[in-house]
Amino acid sequence: MSNLKIEEMKVNAQSVNFNADVKLLDFIQKRMDKLDQFYDKVIQADVYLKVENTSDKENKIFEARLSVPGDRLIVKKQCKTFEECTDMAVSSLERQLKKRKEKLRAYL
C-alpha cells in the first residue's frame, strides 16, 4: 500500500465588509476539498463572502468560482449563516461537477 498525498485544492477566500475568522475559513476549505471526490481536475476556487447591510436575517452571501480546464463554474447563495451558504453552494457545485464529468465521459 502506498501513501499517496492528495493535494488539497487552493481556495482563495475574500471577505467583504467583515473579517472572516479562521474557524469559518477552515470550514469552507474542508467543504470545498470534498469536491475533489467528484472531479479531480479543479484548478482553483475563489470564494467571496459578503455581509449585506439589510435588516433581513438572510444577509450572508457566499459566492464561489471554480476554475476547471476549459470552463468556470459559478455559484451564489444567500442565507442566514455562511456555514449554511457553504453547504448549499458545495452541493450545487457537486451536481455541476458530476454533470460535467458525465458529459466528458460521453465524448471519450
Task: Residue 97: name the closest of 40, 27, 13, 45 by CA.
Answer: 40
The ranges of the chain with pLDDT < 50 are 1-6
**Domain 11-107, CATH among 1.10.760.10, 3.90.1150.10, 3.30.70.20, 3.30.160.100:** 3.30.160.100
Residue-level pLDDT at 55: 83
Residue-level pLDDT at 8: 63
Tens of pLDDT, residues 12-24: 999 998 999 999 9
What is the residue extent of each domain of the chain?
11-107
Write down how long the chain is: 108
